[in-house]
Structure 1
């Protein structure tokens, strides 16, 4: 299974830190946020990783190179200024991702999930990801997003209000066909595709009880940095 790390965001809430450094290269615990993902993906057996970028993207390519440092092969999917949002960025990268389900990880989160659970060869693709849909990782709602995103009915994702709401962790396995209708180069958020998958019954999810941080502000970055350095 291939993986994609989303690294194209401008990081407005992280300014002024992101004025000169792309958010995935901001450090916590002595290493860039994106490197935590690369190390965990490599340890889980992933070998091919696609990284999209826009704002200061040349810094990301210069810092990570071809990935051999981690035993990985990195491919880059540059986007125009302003980027293409999540769904648009994934759609643009489909030629690099192939025809099988792939893992997507937000570059600005920290999570201790075992990525191997998504890629084990003994698990059929149909169990990793519904045909034409996705299987998402959810966490308890953080204080800054108390309303959550969706609810779970078993492993089926249902609209918020249908049960206890949870927050999408920015990690999931997606079918490439979910993005097939997105016009090339069009900016598109992920939420409309997720809502359509709910309606079609092709969106599944599971809850992660471990550590997860949406590193969206300088304060949360500083708190995570202190936590990791003192671990």
Structure 2
């Protein structure tokens, strides 16, 4: 499968104020835009063309990818304005860009390295219209599936099956182009009602459980901080070599400091993240804090975002 639609239009309300200057998928993770981890994941699976929808601060994508490419792979951006179309609406809105070939859909706010080959294999072998990558553990177990057939049967008991779900939807799935026949063009709509309608009408919508690797939804500051703490050393260096840590600054626990960031003399950081270009003033004491680029943070603060 050589193409993917990556959802980049998220507003990131739960991450504010972090998303006041960047769309959620561009928030830095170990000094890199979050969405680039999705791109790397997809490129490793054979994808050679990327389609991304935008909405909130669309110019930030132009700045992040000025050549509209990533590692030599072209990116086609499609802005949703003035209304964000949600997942199903976003898929329909890029129908002309995706053409008549199958495609991945990949949420732009997740961070994972789960293997994608089982998803592709299950989709091909079962002749599904849509196949979801699932996990058997996680924060939101809402997908019901018949293990014998691999077919989805309900989501949050919306169809009245009595099954609230036992699997987590990872936000990664594979679609055949016939999915467009189920979506109303221009309608603001999540993909979940589409999936439920497909189940009711007997369309082949399947799932495959992939528990290998890590998986994070970075939609909240808690998960954002936790992912950095637990994935330290796996995704890059914590302190960028181009960061300036002045003599007398004290760093405790797991801190991530980006290029061009300055931690002034006497400042104390504990389990905090300073984005590229952020600054922490002399004498500041920050615990579990996040400092955005271009922002100066000071004082004694805990669980605060600047």
Same fold (TM over 0.5): yes
Q: Distance in 1 between matches of 2:60 and 2:194?
A: 31
1:209 matched to 2:207? The reply is no
- Asked if 2 retains the 8 angstrom alpha-carbon contact of 1:137 and 1:208, the reply is yes
Q: Which has the larger radius of gyration?
A: 2
Deviation of 1:181 (Å): 4.7
Q: Distance in 2 between matches of 1:164 and 1:185?
A: 30
Deviation of 1:20 (Å): 1.3
Size of the aligned set, in residue pairs, is 224
Deviation of 1:116 (Å): 4.7
Q: Distance in 2 between matches of 1:72 and 1:65?
A: 13
Q: Distance in 1 between matches of 2:127 and 2:102?
A: 7
Q: Distance in 1 between matches of 2:226 and 2:100?
A: 39
1:109 matched to 2:110? The reply is yes
Of 203, 218, 223, which residue of structure 2 is paired with 1:220? Answer: 223
- Asked if 2 retains the 8 angstrom alpha-carbon contact of 1:139 and 1:212, the reply is no
- Asked if 2 retains the 8 angstrom alpha-carbon contact of 1:29 and 1:226, the reply is no
Q: Distance in 2 between matches of 1:136 and 1:125?
A: 9
Structure 1 residues without counterparts, runs of 5 or longer: none
Q: Which 4+ residue blocks in structure 1 deviate beyond 3 angstroms?
A: 65-69, 115-119, 123-126, 160-164
Residues 128-181 of structure 1: CA distance to partner in whole angstroms, max 9, x if unpaired? Answer: 751xx20001113423x2x52333433111125448611111000012222235
Q: Distance in 1 between matches of 2:104 and 2:183?
A: 19
Instruction: Compute the TM-score of the two structures, normalised by the length of structure 1.
Output: 0.87
Aligned to 1:71: 72
Instruction: Considering fraction of residues, name the structure with more helix.
Output: 1
Instruction: Compute the TM-score of the two structures, normalised by the length of structure 2.
Output: 0.67
Assess, with a 3 A threshold, how the Cα gap between structure 1 residues 29 and 197 changes in structure 2: closer, same or farther. same
Aligned to 1:134: 130
Deviation of 1:3 (Å): 0.5
Q: Distance in 2 between matches of 1:65 and 1:22?
A: 16
Structure 2 residues without counterparts, runs of 5 or longer: 235-306
Larger RCO, structure (CA 8 Å, separation 6 or more): 1
- Asked if 2 retains the 8 angstrom alpha-carbon contact of 1:47 and 1:73, the reply is yes
Aligned to 1:150: 144
SS of the equivalent of 1:136 reads strand
Aligned to 2:232: 229
Deviation of 1:117 (Å): 4.9
Q: Distance in 2 between matches of 1:182 and 1:20?
A: 32
SS of the equivalent of 1:229 reads coil
Q: Distance in 1 between matches of 2:209 and 2:102?
A: 20
Assess, with a 3 A threshold, how the Cα gap between structure 1 residues 189 and 24 changes in structure 2: closer, same or farther. same
**Coordinate RMSD, CA, aligned:** 2.2
Q: Which segment drifts farther, 182-191 or 51-60?
A: 182-191
Q: Distance in 2 between matches of 1:20 and 1:110?
A: 20
SS of the equivalent of 2:142 reads coil
